[in-house]
Amino acid sequence: MASSVDARIAEVAVTLYRVPLPRPWVSAAYTITHHEHTLVELTLENGLTGTGWSTTLGVAGAAVAAMIKSYLAPMCIGRSAHDHEALWSDLWRHCHQPGSGGISAIAVAGIDLALWDLRGKLAGMPVRRLLGGGADSVPVYASAANLNLAEHKLVEQTKQFLDAGNRLFKIKIGSEDADQDVSRVAAVRNVIGSLPLMLDANQRFKPGEALRRIAMLERFNPVWLEEPMLSEDIDNHARLAAQSRIPIALGEELSSRYEFWRYISSGAVSYVQPNVHKVGGISEWMKIAHIGMGANLTMAPQGALEASAIVASALPGCYPIENIDSGSFTDQGILEEPLRVEGGRVHLSPEPGLGVRFNREAMEAYRAPSDLTVSIVDRQKYINEKERDGGGDSRPAGRSAV
């Protein structure tokens, strides 16, 4: 085990990649052609490097990278990787001027994951074991942003997922024509029989319409209806949850334990779906999970397969994680060691740390312009600037400001 001095952060490097999806994602809310992965490398004084990442779906990756480079990376210099919780809190509070959710939380997540990677490497064990999890693999459900597919193509895709060993499925709904949704759900039900099926409306409906759509879909016995309405609208979700015969799932656009607490305490959600990147990383995800478990709800990690697998493996009773077609790093061809997904399970790496090693050579073609995205904050340069500015403390200025 390294000493706390050895674990001090000396350098931060930030790199943004815009990776094209093998197939575009289309839902009732968006069309997405690229994923943006902001990679964060924290290097300790002893030379050990931890790599984290945060993902945006085609929007704001440059802003996330700039947020880390300009405002958060300097706060990490000189801090110990073992000071993880305090550093996370300092970073998160520092983000309150522009708002603690959205870009801020996604930026903090990149650093949080790098800290976890470091802590795993320092301890010589996978992060899931540090979190208390013993599972080497976790179940997945097959998911796709497939609202653009003609019904026969949707059926074809579902058969492919079934043939690949999947036993749980999610499809997009939210077509303008409600009968078209019903027809698509019926077609998928016909393929999968009584196997679990989830429906995702991506916030498409207004309150009255949501209830009407639910009445049309409840005979297909879905596990949940995901994001029926705008995620900001807690009150109407609470009213809907009280009347709906389909359980409500949501959380992918919420940013913090506080937002989840409001939903959970309002009785507005049954399946709680935080996204590791949107909530500020693994640290905050686990706190939200404990709030959800305290309300006897089911945690269902949203997207982010590689990060979700780690938290799910450490959480007894966690719902199978979401494996979105074209969404994993393996699907995108950017890992040195692809994560094995077979028989409806994803197998985690036994390596110390997060177990996710990016293939930088394969990613080079997707690297965003360096003037926007690449930064190495050197410890000595930072100290020199502090002294020049009359500070003299090797700790980041942001720390004393919070």
Instruction: Please say which residue, 117 or 226, places its beta carbon nearer to Mg ion.
Output: 226
Give the relative orientation of helices 84-94 and 282-294 as an angle to the nearest 10 degrees.
90
Compare residues 17 and 271 and give the one whose CB is closer to Mg ion: 271
- 275/373 with CB nearer Mg ion: 275
Q: How far is CA 162 from CA 188, 199, 337, in A?
A: 11, 17, 25
Contact set for Mg ion, span 168-227 (CB under 5 A):
200, 226
259 lies in the binding site for Mg ion (CB under 5 A): no
Residue 359 CA to residue 290 CA, distance in Å, equals 34
Q: Nearest approach, Cβ of 168 to Mg ion (angstroms)?
A: 15
Min dist CB 50 to Mg ion, Å, is 29
In 3D space, the residue among 96, 106, 129, 90 whose CA is nearest the CA of residue 52 turns out to be 106
Query: Which pair of tokens denotes residue 352?
Result: 């110390």
Minimum Å distance from CB 252 to Mg ion? Answer: 5
Instruction: Identify the three-state secondary structure at position 137.
Output: strand
CB of 46 to Mg ion, least distance (A): 41
Identify the bridge partners of residue 323 per DSSP, sorted by sequence position: 142
Q: What span, in angstroms and rounded, lies between the C-alpha atoms of 246 and 248? A: 6
Chain centroid to CA 398:
26
From the CB of 25, what's the least distance to Mg ion, in Å?
10
- Closer residue to Mg ion, CB minimum distance, 41 or 200: 200
Q: Which residue is nearest to Mg ion (CB)?
A: 200
Instruction: Output DSSP code: residue 348.
Output: P
Q: How far apart are the first and last CA of the chain?
A: 31
118 vs 199, which CB is nearer to Mg ion? 199
- Closest separation between CB of residue 239 and Mg ion, Å? 21
Mapped onto helix, strand or coil, the DSSP state of residue 342 is strand
Of 171 and 348, the one with the shorter C-beta distance to Mg ion is 171
Q: Determine contact, residues 224/249, Cβ cutoff 8 Å.
A: yes
Binding-site residue total for Mg ion (CB under 5 A)?
Answer: 2
Which structure tokens are listed for 257? 């334990």
- Point out which residues bind Mg ion (CB under 5 A): 200, 226
